[in-house]
Amino acid sequence: LRATGPDSGSARTTLPYTLKLAFSDPWGVRVGGDAWVRQTDAGTRETGGGDPGVVLKYRFGPTSPWGVELGEKFPSAGPTLGSGRADTTLNGIYSNDFGDWHTDINLAETRVGLPGGQAHGWQAGWAASLAHPLAGDWGIGGEFSGTHQAAVPDTAQFLAALSWNASPRAAFDFGVARGLTDASPRNQVFGG
């Protein structure tokens, strides 16, 4: 569950989902989106499902920290609960361990579906995170991330999270995120 703070006059609550399948050592697929969305803006409220997406992931060798993803978001939710347009993303990944610390670095380029006549349909995205185990099955992590698109204000946020590994196949995250620019959602809380 993810909730975005109402300090901008609007609020958004979502129930995101992600399903992952590694069908060979280097190849995997991820399907995800928002199973449920409640968007409140200027006194109006809409609810329904969000935009789904599919991502194909490839890792360059069994021990390589490098990978790449190709993803497509489908505009099934409409312009209020989703973007109303399809997006295509190519993402480069570096994921590695340094002792007890784990890092993930992502650099992405997205072809953003824009209404006809609008330029600047490319958006760059970045994220850099560090995670460290705590006592038992608990861990802590932090992440800086953001986006840049010509003629659109940049976004940036910092996220802090606790994780609990309930089993080798199930992990739960709880945390908060704070927007670092005026164009970013100011406050978010999440768990899942």
Each residue's pLDDT expressed in tens, for the chain with a length of 192 residues: 666 765 556 788 999 999 999 999 899 999 999 999 999 887 789 999 999 999 999 999 989 999 999 999 999 987 788 878 889 999 999 999 999 999 999 999 999 876 555 556 899 999 999 999 999 999 999 999 999 998 889 999 999 999 999 998 888 999 999 999 999 998 999 998
CA atoms within 13 Å, Cβ hemisphere of 152: 18
Task: Tell me if the pTM is above 0.75.
Answer: yes
Output the DSSP codes for 81-113: HS-SS-EEEEEEEEEEEETTEEEEEEEEEEEE-
Distance in angstroms (rounded) separating the CA atoms of residues 75 and 53 = 9
Distance in angstroms (rounded) separating the CA atoms of residues 71 and 57 = 9
Identify the DSSP state of 183: T
Positions of E strands within the chain: 2-4, 10-21, 27-41, 44-48, 53-59, 66-73, 87-98, 101-112, 122-133, 138-149, 152-167, 170-179, 187-191
* Structure-block tokens of residue 64: 């390589």
Please tell me the predicted confidence (pLDDT) of residue 7: 56
